[in-house]
Chains A and B, each alone.
Chain A
Amino acid sequence: QQPVQSPQAVILREGEDAVINCSSSKALYSVHWYRQKHGEAPVFLMILLKGGEQKGHEKISASFNEKKQQSSLYLTASQLSYSGTYFCGTPVGGATNKLIFGTGTLLAVQP
Chain B
Amino acid sequence: DVKVTQSSRYLVKRTGEKVFLECVQDMDHENMFWYRQDPGLGLRLIYFSYDVKMKEKGDIPEGYSVSREKKERFSLILESASTNQTSMYLCASSSLGRADQPQHFGDGTRLSIL
Chain A bound to chain B: yes
Question: Which of A's residues lie within 8 Å of B, judged by CB?
Answer: 2, 29-30, 32, 34, 40-44, 47, 49, 87, 89, 91, 94-104
Distance of A45 from chain B, by nearest CB (Å): 9
How many A-B pairs have beta carbons closer than 8 Å: the answer is: 63
Distance of B46 from chain A, by nearest CB (Å): 12
Interface size on B, residues (CB 8 A): 30
Q: Are B45 and A95 in contact (CB under 8 A)?
A: no
Residues in B with CB closer than 8 Å to A94 are 99
Distance of B36 from chain A, by nearest CB (Å): 11
Distance of B77 from chain A, by nearest CB (Å): 20
Residues in A with CB closer than 8 Å to B90 are 41-42
Task: Give the secondary structure class of A's interface.
Answer: loop
Residues in A with CB closer than 8 Å to B98 are 95-97
Report how far A102 CA is from B108 CA in the complex, Å: 18
Q: Are B105 and A43 in contact (CB under 8 A)?
A: yes
Q: Are B106 and A32 in contact (CB under 8 A)?
A: no
Q: Are B42 and A104 in contact (CB under 8 A)?
A: yes
Q: Are B103 and A29 in contact (CB under 8 A)?
A: no
Residues in B with CB closer than 8 Å to A40 are 107
